[in-house]
Amino acid sequence: MNINLIELLRQKVSAIILEGETEYLSEKSQALSSFFPILLSIFKSRPALIETLQNQLNPRLEDIFTSNPALKPQFLEQISGTVPTSTIENTLNRAIAPTLNFLENEAGSAEPSAIVHLIDTHWQDIDSALPHWGAVFLSALGVAAVADHSLHQAPVVEPYPIVEEKKKSGFLLPIIGLIILIALLALMFKACSNKDEPATEVPMQTASTELAKLQFSTSSSGELLTCQLYSGDANYVELLQKEIKQSFNHNIGCGAETNARYNREFIDQDAIPSVLKLMKGVPNASLTWTGNQLSIQAANPSDAQQLAAKIQPLVRNMTVMTQAAADTAMPIDTNAAITTGNTNAEKALAEIKPDNIKALDIATALNMQIINFDTGSATIPDANKSILDQGAALIKRVPEVHLTVKGHTDAVGSAESNKALSQKRAQAVVNYLVQQGVDPAQLQAVGYGQEQPIADNVTPEGQFKNRRIEFEVLNTETGIVREVDDKGINKQ
């Protein structure tokens, strides 16, 4: 093969990791250039490490140094240069997973043996790209010595021949000795600071303008109901998706938007998988993670408080708020909430690509809107009709998808009348979608009345939140949420 694997890693993985970065950009690029050949050398010697890292959501440097943890600070000190080691460590941590993804793509397989074969094929380029201190470090880590790779050492310089002169020798000898010493020092400095190849500069990207955001909610049985993820890091999104699918036994995971305008990282990002696992089994709970704020809501206020108590130690750099605290802090501006929710729904629906429609993306987008029925009424507000029109156009493209439209009310009035009203409202939404051309067989309406609140019915704000319509994507035979492609629902 005539491709240079290290150069491709610099061009593709470094560009991903450094996208949007403005601080220490050149130094981080150089650190990555030195890190890639070292990491590949370790993979070549320890194929089992490849599978270990593949099975982790966020593989980190310490996973590589398990056999000799004391080497990690020495390694960071060497590779960081003048940049704080914590900054470089964070950069290298984020590079491990995309490097593995790149190697899997190039090898055509995720099998460690295939990746090692790829490394062997390009070994000459990898070997020549090792930094001057790489061979010593790898040897200290217990990695087999690199064949035909020698340390950069200062060349032996033969002293200049000194011609003895009877009259001038006493004067010239000190000067010649000084010249030789300066030459030796210059050669040693050049050898120690020499890099095999100049780092590939990555163009500076426009800084992100919006915070990364995660919205997550559970159903009445505590399973995943809706999930939406906004991030500038496509690789992290993919890893988190795998974790969510596995943890919740869910084929689809989150509806996701990866865009450079969003931050690449969440605050306390490593805690996200653990936090989501804590929510599993908690009925009718929701979470919003953005900036340094983490908001938790639950139908039962005590559930929200218990979740907050468990989550706070995991996210030490964030403020965890429960819905009860938010309700008492500031009354909700219902008009503003409706406008914001409906705008977000329209935006999310517009961003769903017609040739790559996923069922849960439709449901998640539709659930962003607020259908604020008048008291005792089942007439759909005009503000929601354009959103439902967008949803209908997408649903018609995936005829195997079945939506359950769920109606909910607050606790004002009798439970029996509330249940009947919620059924009428859910049916009104179904009827409207059918009028827009959706097959009636794809839809069903279910009214729950006041049985599944998501907020405390004591306050007007809580009552407003409980009066809602929810969309859920189900397979009518099994009740299992399934991913949809251009051929319909994927069978298990």
Most confident of 81-85, 236-240, 366-370, 472-476: 366-370
Of 336, 208, 189, 341, nearest to 266 by C-alpha is 208
Domain 352-489 listed as CATH 3.40.50.2300: no
Per-residue model confidence (pLDDT) at position 206: 46
Q: Which two tokens stand for residue 86?
A: 């914590």
Question: Per residue in 396-410, pLDDT tens?
Answer: 998 888 889 999 998
Q: Which two tokens stand for residue 366?
A: 């539709």
| Residue 470 pLDDT exceeds 50 | yes
In 299-350, at which residue ranges do the beta strands (DSSP E only) sit? 319-322
Q: Which two tokens stand for residue 304?
A: 């929200």
Residue type, 307: L
Mean pLDDT of 176-202: 51
Sign of CA dihedral 304, 306, 307, 308: positive
Of 423, 429, 364, 355, nearest to 392 by C-alpha is 429
288, burial (CB in 10 Å: exposed 0-12, middle 13-18, buried 19+): middle
User: Please, what is the average pLDDT of the chain?
Assistant: 79
Of 441, 23, 32, nearest to 199 by C-alpha is 32
In 10 A of CB 67, how many CB atoms?
A: 11
Question: Per residue in 426-463, pLDDT tens?
Answer: 999 999 999 999 999 999 999 999 988 887 777 788 88
From first CA to last CA, the distance across the chain in angstroms is: 39
Of 35, 125, 30, nearest to 81 by C-alpha is 30
Question: Where are the domains positioned within the chain?
Answer: 5-140, 213-329, 352-489
| C-beta of residue 280 within 8 angstroms of C-beta of residue 253 | no
Q: Which CATH number applies to 213-329: 3.60.10.10, 3.30.70.260, 3.40.1520.20, 3.40.50.720?
A: 3.40.1520.20
Instruction: Name which residue leads in pLDDT, 152 or 121.
Output: 121
The CA–CA distances, whole Å, from 113 to 24, 98, 107, 144, 415 equal 36, 18, 9, 17, 62
Whole-angstrom Cα distance, residue 2 to residue 228? 42
